[in-house]
Structure formats: structure tokens, C-alpha cells
Structure 1
């Protein structure tokens, strides 16, 4: 049974269903009626670990049998419905003979690596500030601990890019996964603010090694005609991580502890590291033939490439917008008198809409339309969404605004990857991706810092952000159109 991907999914699904029922019907009554808090902590931890294994099994089945994406969505939703896994198991048992196991597509394993990296990032968001306070941090130090990850992540991104060009990106990717899994385990040793800041710096730095190396490996082994669609699929994995990560860590931390959350994420990292080593080692060795090395490229010359500048500036403003939204949206929701949970629902709406655009046939647009146009439209819609939010005073308007924002995000993310791939070659692509994701990290810090410092208020902050994004979209369309013609000639 376990040899077939659906069989493995059924087995982990049944375990997940059983652990959910034990949690709801036994552990929670023991906590609230008998006062035994330990029951929920123990069962909740086990259920969290089993759920992560179940999520991995869903991804593995999707990779090996390449079924309709709706099956993966239904399997995921079933985990949150009592008896849902048991009902799904009956259907999967009937369908299993109809699905043949396909050859392992290693591209999807890179997507899983991307998912892990962003799952690690988004899992930190709901718990880090409160965890910092629990070990004695002041509000300033707690904010410093939150920002420390993005700060050191920038240096890790740059180093990953440089080393990916000097060596095969596979070795950098593998090192990043191993070191990040180890850094996650260090959270269990934190008992004061000094150690917290040290661990946060280490975690951010080694975590920054993963994504540039992963995208460099993916770009160097991709069909150029499909780079837009592949960028969309990788964006979908980022979106899924943005949906699952905060919910997972928030729920598990409330039932166990923050170090337990990072411990589970570390286990996922170790599992993916093993898969990467055995599945990609031969491919990495085969592609590691001697290549002409790029000569020294002065930094100023590097940034004169119009395609690279467009990709970097787009990455900066993408995450600048995210930083502003993360800071302003909770305050806006609170000022309107709504429950704070609405902020989470709105952010999930943006993520779900983006994932749908990534995975549905709409992703064909990225290989049929020049990336500059989808880039400009995407950043315009994100800016319009910010302006839309500023005028929203009802839940329906806010949901519509975040849906618009999600469509813009979905158009922008793959376009940035396509522009960067078109503007570079294998000689410098690792370095290009390193700086690219460094601009991602800088954008988050700049967005929240700048808007919080301006005396504009919440509504004014949304308006300023929207104007900045729309202005950039017009600039990108007007002043960088020539890069479509010059992209190949200007490659280093």
C-alpha cells in the first residue's frame, strides 16, 4: 500500500484524521473539563507533526502521479474537517488503480525547497514578537529580534548568489538546508535576549543561502520557453507557504511552545534535505561540467543592465508593499472596529487568490505575454489594491481590495523571475539571484519602517503606498521597454 503515492497519502491521512479526533474528543475535554492542560499539549504536538507529514504526502502524490490540482486542494481541506480524511480515504481507495506513478520530476522537489524556505519565514510571523517578550525582551528588542532575520538574510542571499556562480548551486542549496535545519533546533536553547538575537542572526543568514541557490538551479535547468509558467508554479508554493505557515505556527504555539514549532519545521527541513541529496545529486553532477567562468564584472556595470535593474526594483517594491500592508492592515481593521482575526482572513484571501492565478490555466499568460507588461500590470493592481483598502469601511470592500492585490501579486512574481532570467546567463545568474532576494529582504524593512515614520496616519499610509506603486508601474512600462529588444545583447 505504501509503495504507491496514493497509498502513502491514505496512510498519513488516516493517521491525521485519528489524531484530530483524539484532539477534539479526548484531549480538549480533558483540558477544559478536567483541567489537564498537558493532554492538549502532547496530543496537539503529535497532531502537528502528523499534519506536516500528511502535507508532505499530498505534495509527493501531486508530484508522482500528476493528478488534477483539485485533488490536492480537497485532500488539504479534508484535514480540517472531522471524519473528512476517512471520507476521502474511501474515494482514494477507488481511484488509486486509475493513477500510474510517473517518473520523478526533480523540478517539483526544487519547488518543495522553495516552499520550505518560505514556510520557515511565514511560520515566524505570528509568534516571534511574543516569544521574544517571553524571554525578557523589551518592545524595542522584540522588534529588533523580528527584523534581525531579514537583516542577516540579506547577507546570506548575496553570499549564496556569489558562491552559486563559483560552485555548483546544488552544494550551496544543500548546505543552506542543513544549516537552516540546525539553526531551527537552536531555538530550544534560548533563555535570554542575547542568545535570542544571536540565534535570529544565524537563522536569517543561513536561511538566506537557500532560495537564490534553488532558483539558480531551477533556472539553469529550465526550458527557456517555459520560464514564465515555472515561475508561476514556484510562486504558488510561496503562496501556499504564506497561507499555511502563520496558521500552523499560531495554532501549534498556542497548544505547545514556540521552540516546538521550530522543531517541527526543522524536521521538515531534514526530510527535504535527504530528498534533495538523493534525488538531485546525479543531476547536479551531470550539469557540473567545466564552464567558461565569467570575468570580473564591476558592480556599477552589473546594475546598468536594464533587465536586472527592472527585476531588482520590482522585487524591492513588491516587498515594500508587503511590509506596508503587514504594518497598516491590522491597524486599519482595528480602527474600523472589526475583530483582529479579520486581518488574518484578509491576508489569507490575498494568498488564496494569488495561488489560484498561479495554478489555474491563467498561468499560461506568463509564457504568452511579454513579462514587462505583466510586471507593470501586476504592480499597478497592487498599488490600486492599497488605495482600495484605504477607502474600505466594510468587509466586502476589504475582501475585494485584497483580492485585487492578490491578482497583482500573482502577475508580478513570475514576471520578475522571467525578466531576470532573460537578462542573465549561467555565468552570473547565481549572483543575480543573490542580489534579487537581498532586495526582497530590504523591501520589507524599508516598507514598514518608512510608512511607520511618516506622519500620515493609516489611511494616508495606504494612499502613499498606492501612489508609489502606481508611479513605479508607469515608470517600468515607459522607461524600460527597450530592454525587451536589448535583453539578449546586454547579457553578461
Structure 2
């Protein structure tokens, strides 16, 4: 028997109300009267974790119950009022028998899992270097542990793809969610660089299990005519994670601690695990296609379309690595405040999200993915060339906006091309390799530019030229394919 969403909301609400009373009635007097500061730290952390679970219960109830959003607002406000949750519980007990449930949309859960995976990634960016330094890591080790996560990610991506094709996407999703949430809690035991390296390897590997399975699940339950738009809409949640994740972790870490930030993310992961156990395991995917016996597997997952998708994925994140590495240095060299780097990166993310969620996402179902891929890489290449030459805030914002347009065109195109070029039986493995190339792109992008003897402007110039060359290659290859098809039809 499934737990009713309102019952789950009531349970977490009572726990939240009780922990608030303990915080205010016991922990605060212990701190301010008897000077026991740790009382507030410990109880406050427990209360914060329970509140995160309560907030997720509110969200779950809003999705599943046919009631006014005023209920969700009242539930949220009650969390900040002593005894508020207890008064609300009486009303919720009656509402549990009055309001019917809505059918659950599995796509929403997959979107939430994609958001969690990338939120986990992006929430690390502002805090990992300082956390590594706080446990005694040298500057070399700090850089090493940051890149180590993406490197370990590649192995998780590949194994996830193989498992997805063998047992379906639901099991790798569940395994990835559980292990990633547990790995996030391991940061509490890190007190020296060696332990941090071990935890980063574990965290990166298990986190890599999620994304290939999530995108395969989405692709297998979407009609061919809507693949492009579906991937673009999924990209919205990647963009939102890129915008919200760094801000959340930066603010929370300054007020609490880095391990507490990761605990909050872990709570989200455990909550999604529960929902996945309930709803995804029973989902029936589309009928699988039968592979042609005379065609080797390598030919099916390394054809021209797939290779272009892998190349686009690698260059997408290679470019991201360059932006993450060189943009703050460029902004600093121009004499601007370091906060400008964050707002510039948010600008590109916001532009990309808007193109993903607005009717502009229809372009991905109407235009060939190779064409949008070529245009997207071209825009990103031009923006990289011009960022190094920009010396005003207006110019930098314009170039990052152009970069955001290119990113928004490229990300769905890469995924759509992969889906269209791969039979469903091998789609998991293809997604595994794809996101392995994503992960490698981040490592190579920042690492290669740090190793090459380039100035900041030369680094942007090199990256821009590399992207434009690949864009031209895709355009020329597409033209040749069209000419060959015309000749064969004559």
C-alpha cells in the first residue's frame, strides 16, 4: 500500500515542528544562557535536514494532490511559526479524505533526477576548492581533486550505459541515486587530503551512473517526432541547476558548512530515490527494436551520426572548461570585481534556459540536428574568439549571451542526433559514452589550457578556432551526405 502524499506531508511537518521547538526552546537557551554554542549547531543542522525533507514533501503533495496551491503556501509558512505545523496537521488530516490524487507524470520525476544530478555537480563549484584547502590540501591537490570528480564520472557513465542496455534504465537510476546520496554524506568524515581524494573518486563514479540512465529512460518513452523538443526541455533543468546550484552552495556554505550543503543535496537524492522506487519501476517503456544480426554492435554505436554527437559533446564541455578556467582570470585582468564572473556565467545559463523552455524549442523537431549543431558550435566559437577581445562589461555580457544561444542549440542537438542514430537496444551504452565525453571535455578543457603556454587572449582564440573548425566540418559533412543521397535517388 502506497503512502498518501498528505500523510507523508503530515509526518514530516510534525517532525519539522518538533525540531523547531527543540531548537528555540532548548538549543537557543543552552547557547545564549549557558554558552553551549554546539547545541544550536547540532540541533540547527538536524532541523535544517528535516526542513529540506518537509519542503520536498510539500512539493510532492502539490504534484500529486488535486488541491489549491494555497495549501502548499500555508504548509511552507507553518514551518516558520512555532506550533504552526501542529495546527496545520488538524486541517491536513481532514483534507486527506477530501482531495483526490492526480495521475503521476513520470517525466516530471525524470526531469527532477536530471536536475538533482547536475545540481550535485554545480553546487560543488564554489565550495570545493576552499573545502579542500580547509583540510590541508596543497594548491596542486586542490586542482587535482576538482578534476578527479569528472574523471571518475566517465567510468560511471560507461558502466551505467552498459547496465541500462542489459537491465533497463530504472535499476541504474535507483543505484545511482542511492549511492550518490550516500557518497555526499561521506564529506562529513573528510579531515585530510587523502580522504578527500578517496571520497571524490567514489562520488564522481557513482554520480556518473545517473545521467545516461535518465536520458535513456526519457528517450525510450518519447515518440520520435518529439525527441528534439523533449531533450531541449530536459536541458532546461540542466540550466536551472547551473544557475541555482552555485548560488545555493555558496550562500549555505557561508552560513553553515560545506558538508552540510552536501547533506541537503543528499536529502534531495534520498527523496527522489523513494519516488523512483514507487513510480519508475512499474513504468513500461516502448517496445524495443530488434537488432540486425548481420550488423556488428560497434557499427551501430560508432556510426557517423554518433561520432559527430560524441565530438559535439566533448567540445561543448571543453568550451565550458575553458570558460570556467579563463573567464575569471580575464575579468580580474580587466580590473573588475570577481562577482562579475558569476553574473556572466548566470547570463549564459539564463539565455540557454529561455531558449529551452520557450516555443523556440520547436526548432529541434523541425530542423536537422546536424544543422543546429553546426550553428550552435559556430556561435560558441565566435563568442570564444570575441570574449578575449572584450574589455567592457556590456561587451562581455553580449558575448556570454551569444555563448548561451550556442549552448542552447548544441546541447539538444547532440542528444537528438545520438537518439536518432542509435537503436533502442544500444541507446543506454551510447548515452554512457556520450556523457563520458562530456566529463572528459571538462577535464581536458581546463587542463589543456592550463598546460599550454597561452595568454588569456590566446587561450580564447585557440578554443574559438577549434570550435569553428569542427562546425565547418559538420556543415561540409552534411552537405556531402545530401549530395550523395541526391545521386543515389537519381
TM-score normalised by the chain length of structure 2: 0.81
| Equivalent runs, 1:301-450 vs 2, <5 Å | 301-302=299-300, 304-450=302-448
Quote the Cα distance in structure 2 between the aligned partners of 1:431 and 1:485. Answer: 31
CA contact (8 A) 1:120 1:265 kept: yes
| Equivalent runs, 1:13-52 vs 2, <5 Å | 50=51
Quote the Cα distance in structure 2 between the aligned partners of 1:45 and 1:337. Answer: 42
CA contact (8 A) 2:321 2:445 kept: yes
Quote the Cα distance in structure 2 between the aligned partners of 1:258 and 1:311. Answer: 36
CA contact (8 A) 2:5 2:60 kept: no
Deviations 1:217-248 (A, max 9, x none): 11111111111111011100000000111111
- Shift of the 143–52 alpha-carbon distance from structure 1 to 2, 3 Å rule, reads farther
| CA-CA distance at 1:289 after TM superposition | 7.7
Quote the Cα distance in structure 2 between the aligned partners of 1:419 and 1:484. Answer: 16
Deviations 1:87-117 (A, max 9, x none): xxxxxxxxxxxx9975321011111110000
Quote the Cα distance in structure 2 between the aligned partners of 1:181 and 1:275. Answer: 14
Quote the Cα distance in structure 1 between the aligned partners of 2:482 and 2:50. Answer: 47
* Superposition CA RMSD, Å: 3.8
CA contact (8 A) 1:383 1:465 kept: yes
**2:107 matched to 1:119?**
no
CA contact (8 A) 2:45 2:260 kept: no
| CA-CA distance at 1:292 after TM superposition | 4.8
Deviations 1:328-376 (A, max 9, x none): 0000010011110110111111111111111111111111111111111
Quote the Cα distance in structure 2 between the aligned partners of 1:374 and 1:329. Answer: 26
Unaligned runs of 5+ in 1: 83-98, 488-492
Quote the Cα distance in structure 1 between the aligned partners of 2:375 and 2:144. Answer: 35
**2:472 matched to 1:474?**
yes
Quote the Cα distance in structure 2 between the aligned partners of 1:115 and 1:296. Answer: 39
Quote the Cα distance in structure 2 between the aligned partners of 1:56 and 1:353. Answer: 31
After the TM superposition, list the runs of 4 or more consecutive aligned residues in structure 1 that deviate by more than 2 angstroms. Answer: 36-65, 99-103, 286-304, 480-487
| CA-CA distance at 1:50 after TM superposition | 4.2
- Worse overlay, 274-283 or 386-395: 386-395
- Shift of the 100–311 alpha-carbon distance from structure 1 to 2, 3 Å rule, reads farther
CA contact (8 A) 1:41 1:255 kept: no
The equivalent of 1:258 in structure 2 is: 258
- Worse overlay, 339-348 or 55-64: 55-64
| Equivalent runs, 1:225-244 vs 2, <5 Å | 225-244=225-244
CA contact (8 A) 1:123 1:245 kept: yes
SS in 2 for 1:428: helix
CA contact (8 A) 2:310 2:434 kept: yes
SS in 2 for 1:111: helix
Quote the Cα distance in structure 2 between the aligned partners of 1:486 and 1:42. Answer: 69
Quote the Cα distance in structure 2 between the aligned partners of 1:289 and 1:400. Answer: 46
- Shift of the 293–274 alpha-carbon distance from structure 1 to 2, 3 Å rule, reads farther
Quote the Cα distance in structure 2 between the aligned partners of 1:368 and 1:483. Answer: 19
The equivalent of 2:177 in structure 1 is: 177
- Shift of the 454–268 alpha-carbon distance from structure 1 to 2, 3 Å rule, reads same
- Shift of the 143–368 alpha-carbon distance from structure 1 to 2, 3 Å rule, reads same
The equivalent of 1:141 in structure 2 is: 141
- Shift of the 386–225 alpha-carbon distance from structure 1 to 2, 3 Å rule, reads same
SS in 2 for 1:281: coil
- Shift of the 485–129 alpha-carbon distance from structure 1 to 2, 3 Å rule, reads farther
| CA-CA distance at 1:265 after TM superposition | 0.6
**2:186 matched to 1:223?**
no
Aligned residues: 448
| CA-CA distance at 1:301 after TM superposition | 3.3
TM-score normalised by the chain length of structure 1: 0.81
The equivalent of 2:458 in structure 1 is: 460
SS in 1 for 2:337: coil
Quote the Cα distance in structure 1 between the aligned partners of 2:53 and 2:457. Answer: 39
- Shift of the 339–204 alpha-carbon distance from structure 1 to 2, 3 Å rule, reads same
| CA-CA distance at 1:451 after TM superposition | 1.4
- Worse overlay, 472-481 or 229-238: 472-481
- Worse overlay, 223-232 or 382-391: 382-391
| Equivalent runs, 1:53-68 vs 2, <5 Å | 54=55, 57=58, 61=62
Quote the Cα distance in structure 2 between the aligned partners of 1:478 and 1:207. Answer: 37
CA contact (8 A) 1:161 1:434 kept: yes
SS in 1 for 2:282: helix
Structure of higher CA gyration radius: 2
- Worse overlay, 174-183 or 43-52: 43-52
| CA-CA distance at 1:388 after TM superposition | 2.3
SS in 1 for 2:281: helix
